[in-house]
Amino acid sequence: MSEMDAQPPVSRRSLLDHVIALCGTVTGVALVGPAVAYLWPVTKAGPVKSREEVGDAAGWAPWTARKASIAGKPVLIVRTDKGFIALSAVCTHLGCLVEYDAAKKAIACPCHGAWFDLNGQVTGGPPPRPLPAYGVSEVQGKVFVSV
């Protein structure tokens, strides 16, 4: 008698157990990627590498915002009644681009419902860290952001 004949046939129950175990393993592996992305830092702040003009201060109404790309980084610039604020436009949760909500005077991430105040602090949702802030200066009526 050969070794092939010595093994019992696989039962339906045994096959179903193996299929369920395989599905569970695939699901578990699929959940690890987003969990790691949530916990891994999206960006790291470093020294100032670039200072660029983002517009004329005179033509910029209070409580409005503009986006700019400075040294390849998306930046959200908001004019308040006291001056300008520049924050990273990349949500610290999963890297989506944030939007300024003028009605609430706050910053929202449309991807997962995150909210930030105008200092970049998390006020709601899943982000683990505040938005990084950048330097803003006004020189001879021009607005400059340093990243």
In this prediction, residue 72 carries a pLDDT of 86
Q: Which residue has the tokens 């910029």?
A: 60
Q: Is the pLDDT of residue 100 over 90?
A: yes
In this prediction, residue 4 carries a pLDDT of 60
In this prediction, residue 5 carries a pLDDT of 64
CA–CA gap between residue 127 and residue 103 (Å, rounded): 22
In this prediction, residue 44 carries a pLDDT of 56
Q: Is the pLDDT of residue 138 over 90?
A: no
Predicted confidence (pLDDT) per residue in 39-68, tens digit: 776 655 556 577 778 888 888 899 999 998
Cβ neighbours of residue 100 closer than 8 Å, sequence gap 6 or more = 64, 65, 76, 78, 106, 107, 108
In this prediction, residue 8 carries a pLDDT of 76
In this prediction, residue 104 carries a pLDDT of 94
Q: How many CA atoms lie within 13 A of 87 on its CB side?
A: 26
Q: Is the pLDDT of residue 92 over 70?
A: yes
